[in-house]
Structure 1
Amino acid sequence: MRKSLMRMTLRQLQVFGAVCESRSYSRAAEEMALTQPAVSLQIRQLEELVGQPLFEYVGKKLYLTEAAEALKRASSDIFARLDSLDMQLTDLQGSLQGQLNLAVESSAKYFVPHLFAAFRRQHPDVSLQLSVVNRAQVIKRLSDNRDDLVIMSLMPSEVALEFLPFLNNPIVAVAPPEHPLCQASRLSLQDLAAYPLLVREPGSGTRKACEEYFQQKRAHFAQTVQIASLDALREAVIAGLGVALLPRHAVTLELAHGLLRELPVDELPLYRSWCVAHARGKRLSPVAQAFFAFIRDQRAQVSALAARFGGSPPKPAAQ
């Protein structure tokens, strides 16, 4: 190893990481409570130790050089190991402590806080940083090693993962109670095709699962309305703009209070499994290991918790 690399400081790597994230010396200075000249000095010293430039301006945008990308990966590993050490030391004191960095697909955001709360009852000193994104963004975060664990369905083939399926994610058709389809006692997917279908944005796991299923069932929807937010899409269904296929976990309260009705479609629910996953070969922190083990070993508790969010199947219309 080059002796110059041994002279790097953790503070320099923290400043470097802030510049990488913000792509701005001034914003990094504000985040680190430093002056901009101080940030520039830290980066210049780091470049001297590395022996190569770390950033370059193209126009007015700051870009990472190839050396910076390599240093970013190495510094992420260093800080992850330090986090792991901190957790192991506190674990030796008899109490699991630390933060779980968890990314979840947006349709899982209603259930996951309750899952973490059950875990935290066993480990009260653990905190949570939760990122809610769509499926495409989860895959990008996996590639960038941004999180300890992710929760998603439809495992991607382009990323080598270790994953554990732990919960069914039933996708159901919903409509407002005054919708004509709510009068039927039995429907097919084709019956829904006569009405506007509200869909999520490209990159959504729910949308991908539904599109693959429609293709399999040869169901074609001529009228679609794209709405990027799951919450906004749900409200659009309540407002009567169309029907939608949504995870039952996401509409439990609306079904219970009569704001939405689950349509009795023969081909539904469409079942996909929620999985907890991480990149293959990733070194998990003690907190991440404990959370993974909790999901694996407490299946009965997880299933009982999920039952509160499963909604109920549609009741046949009165004849």
Structure 2
Amino acid sequence: MNYTLHQLQIFLKICQLKSITKASEELHLTQPAVSIQLKNFQDQFPIPLTEVVGRKLYVTEFGKEIAQAAEKIVEEVNAINYKTLNYQGELSGRLKLSIVSTGKYVMPYFLSEFIRLNPGVELIIDVTNKSRVIESLELNEVDFALVSVLPKKLKVKNIELMQNSLYFIGSSQLNFKNPDDKKNIFENTSIIYREQGSATRTAMEKFITTNKFSVQKKIELMSNEAVKQAVLSGLGCSIMPLIGIKNDLKNNDLQIIPVKGLPISTTWNLIWLESKKLSPVANAYLDFLKFKKEEIINKDFSWIAKY
């Protein structure tokens, strides 16, 4: 057998994504190039690694075992590269985070300078909903997680990053006959929710229940961006994090509708398991945040104060 590290990396990515097309996109390769490498890799084994059923790619049991071995090999190669950088005096290793979807408007600003200063650090971020974020933390799949509500069932440590404010948002094209009657706004307007498991949805439902608003028309969407686009189109209104609609407010495409009891204020927290032994990279990142957090907030998020 004469397979290459490149082939192992491609096969592993195909197994993870169950798609040649998605693997090619993530690896920044053409689809034919990935297909050729998969074929060349497969030709070295007498047993099929993958199979296509109904135009869908499946990994065989044998293929799964090869993928597990490939993952260990790739990790060992990465470890060799990191050790080389360490001997050269550079901070190196992986920094893995799982963040809630609205956190994508926040977390990059707290990472960019750290990554620029430490080119030997490989950054991996999974953007998903709150339930999956907590699960990945609990399973020790990541170093840190970004949440706006601290989990109750896990023992975690945390560092507060910045405030998260949620407002009632509508398209600027909407005109309300009696804007002071907020109860009627909720009853007569379609209200757009995030999916179950979202912290934004939990906060929104708590606010509506506490104020005894009756929502007659309810729409559920699976991401903050999808909710924003629906609100922009005039499909309905929603309670949304201010952090994700800066340009839409600036361009007068969206409006903040004043409602008593809003904004809802929470805090973005970077959390990690209390029992976790942090890597040198993770510890270095915490030190970076302690010194740079306020500077980043003042530089990149000062615009929030005017709302």
Partner amino acid, structure 2, of 1:165: E
Q: 1:161 — aligned with what? A: 156
CA distance in 2, matches of 1:84, 1:293: 23
Task: Tell whether the 8 Å contact from 2:95 to 2:123 is kept in structure 1 after alignment.
Answer: yes
CA distance in 1, matches of 2:140, 2:222: 25
Q: 1:212 — aligned with what? A: 206
Deviation at 1:19, TM superposition (A): 11
Q: 2:245 — aligned with what? A: 251
Deviation at 1:235, TM superposition (A): 0.8
1:166–1:85 CA distance, 2 compared to 1 (3 A): farther
Pair 1:304 & 2:301 matched: no
* Aligned partner of 2:124 among 104, 129, 132: 129
- Mean alpha-carbon deviation: is it higher for 304-313 or for 286-295? 304-313
Deviation at 1:309, TM superposition (A): 6.2
Q: What percentage of aligned pairs have identical amino acids?
A: 23
Q: Deviations over 1:145-184 (max 9, x none)?
A: 2222111111222222222222111111111112124984
Pair 1:171 & 2:195 matched: no
Deviation at 1:205, TM superposition (A): 1.5
Task: Tell whether the 8 Å contact from 1:154 to 1:209 is kept in structure 2 after alignment.
Answer: no
Q: 1:150 — aligned with what? A: 145
CA distance in 1, matches of 2:178, 2:253: 15
Q: Deviations over 1:264-303 (max 9, x none)?
A: 2221110111111122211222222222222233231132
Deviation at 1:126, TM superposition (A): 2.6
Using structure 2 for the length normalisation, give the TM-score. 0.72
Partner amino acid, structure 2, of 1:113: P
Using structure 1 for the length normalisation, give the TM-score. 0.69
Q: 2:188 — aligned with what? A: 194
Task: Tell whether the 8 Å contact from 1:106 to 1:132 is kept in structure 2 after alignment.
Answer: yes
Pair 1:292 & 2:286 matched: yes
1:35–1:166 CA distance, 2 compared to 1 (3 A): closer
Q: 1:224 — aligned with what? A: 218
Partner amino acid, structure 1, of 2:209: Q
Partner amino acid, structure 2, of 1:268: L
1:182–1:81 CA distance, 2 compared to 1 (3 A): farther
Q: 1:59 — aligned with what? A: none
Q: Deviations over 1:19-53 (max 9, x none)?
A: 99679xxx9xxx9x9999x99xx9xxxxxxxxxxx
Secondary structure of 2:109's aligned partner: helix
CA distance in 1, matches of 2:290, 2:211: 33
Partner amino acid, structure 1, of 2:135: K
CA distance in 2, matches of 1:182, 1:295: 47
Partner amino acid, structure 2, of 1:171: L
Q: 1:265 — aligned with what? A: 259
Deviation at 1:90, TM superposition (A): 3.4
Q: 1:50 — aligned with what? A: none
Q: How many residues are matched?
A: 295
- Unpaired runs of 5+ in structure 1? 1-13, 43-61, 63-75, 314-319
Q: 1:274 — aligned with what? A: 268
CA distance in 1, matches of 2:237, 2:76: 48
Secondary structure of 2:154's aligned partner: coil
* Aligned partner of 2:100 among 97, 105, 111: 105
1:178–1:35 CA distance, 2 compared to 1 (3 A): closer
CA distance in 1, matches of 2:235, 2:295: 38
